[in-house]
């Protein structure tokens, strides 16, 4: 057992360094007395690292070395990288360009996309003919909230509606106003003279209640009932271009 009274060059060291060494030791030896030659070789050099940052970087590389040694995958990753980026600068540029385009397409398909809104359901905020930027991932992480404008699947239809009720909410309409759990809903996005007519409803688990801002002409949850949350295709982030 090493004690703190020994010199700084002992097997002790800072907490960071001890953690880095412990993680690498575990990865290399996996409970055995000794691991593979190359993993052990990296581990044996841990004491040489002068700073904590160096120790962490050394250990991180060691994890990779140990993994490669154990799986025998001597270079699938390295071979692919070598093939992709090993050529001259023209090829490297071409590879990077192709990867960037691919990434952009993936992002456009799965993360952020622009859709054309054909319907009047969300006037006056979003008018028929507008294009809106739609987030397809973030809302799944943060969850939907009252007031969010969402796009109803299938994607590309651009059919947008607003979330006015979450699971467990009790909704009702009185005197042309929407009430949520007994209090009047704050709906600053409505045109001034809007009146809302609806049947009282309790939103079931896993569903959201949707209304178009254009209450008079929107086909929404008043007709179709609360919508299952997994049918939500995306959340509108902002309007990117207005109808002509």
Partner 1 sequence: MPRTPNSSPQTLSVLAALLAEPSRWRHGYELSKETGLASGSLYPILMRLTQQGMLEAEWQSPVAPGRPARHAYRLTSGGVALARTRLAERDRHSAPAQARPAMRVAW
The footprint of partner 1 on residues 193-222 (CB under 8 A) is: none
Minimal distance in Å, beta carbon 128 to partner 1? 55
Distance CA 198, CA 170 (A): 12
Does residue 22 touch partner 1 according to CB under 8 A?
A: no
Does residue 2 touch partner 1 according to CB under 8 A?
A: yes
C-beta separation of 50 from 41 below 8 A: no
Minimal distance in Å, beta carbon 52 to partner 1? 15
Count of all residues that appear for the chain in the document: 244
Residue 72 or 188: the one with the smaller Cβ distance to partner 1 is: 72
- For residue 149, give the nearest of 237, 222, 73 by alpha carbon: 237
C-beta separation of 27 from 69 below 8 A: no
Computed on alpha carbons and rounded to an integer, the radius of gyration of the chain in Å comes to 29
Minimal distance in Å, beta carbon 64 to partner 1? 4
Does residue 51 touch partner 1 according to CB under 8 A?
A: no
C-beta separation of 101 from 94 below 8 A: no
Minimal distance in Å, beta carbon 10 to partner 1? 6
Binding residues with partner 1: total (CB under 8 A): 30
Residues in CB range of 233: below 8 A, 6 or more apart: 134, 136, 150, 151, 152, 153, 154, 155
Residue 56 or 144: the one with the smaller Cβ distance to partner 1 is: 56
Q: x/- string (CB under 8 A) for partner 1, residues 57-96?
A: xx-xxxxxx--xx----xx--x---x---x----------
Distance CA 107, CA 105 (A): 5
Summarize as ranges the residues that interact with partner 1 (CB under 8 A).
Answer: 2, 6, 10-11, 37-38, 40-45, 47-49, 57-58, 60-65, 68-69, 74-75, 78, 82, 86
């Amino acid at each position: 057992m090493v004690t703190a009274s020994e010199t700084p060059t002992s097997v002790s060291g800072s907490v960071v360094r001890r953690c880095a060494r412990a993680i690498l030791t575990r990865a290399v030896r996996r409970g055995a007395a000794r691991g593979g030659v190359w993993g052990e070789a990296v581990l044996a050099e841990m004491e040489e690292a002068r700073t904590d940052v160096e120790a962490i970087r050394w250990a991180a590389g060691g994890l990779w070395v140990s993994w490669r040694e154990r799986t025998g995958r001597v270079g699938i990753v390295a071979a692919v990288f070598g093939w992709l980026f090993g050529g001259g600068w023209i090829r490297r540029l071409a590879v990077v360009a192709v990867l960037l385009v691919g990434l952009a397409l993936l992002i456009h398909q799965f993360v952020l996309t622009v859709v054309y809104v054909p319907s009047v359901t969300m006037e006056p905020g979003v008018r028929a003919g507008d294009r809106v930027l739609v987030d397809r991932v973030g809302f799944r992480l943060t969850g939907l909230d009252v007031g969010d404008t969402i796009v109803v699947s299938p994607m590309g239809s651009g059919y947008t509606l607003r979330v006015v009720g979450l699971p467990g909410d009790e909704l009702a309409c009185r005197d042309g106003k929407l009430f949520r759990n007994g209090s009047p809903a704050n709906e600053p996005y409505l045109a001034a003279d809007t009146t809302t007519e609806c049947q009282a409803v309790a939103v079931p688990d896993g569903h959201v209640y949707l209304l178009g801002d254009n209450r008079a002409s929107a086909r929404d949850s008043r007709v179709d009932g609360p919508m299952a949350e997994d049918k939500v295709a995306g959340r509108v982030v902002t309007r990117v271009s207005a109808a002509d």
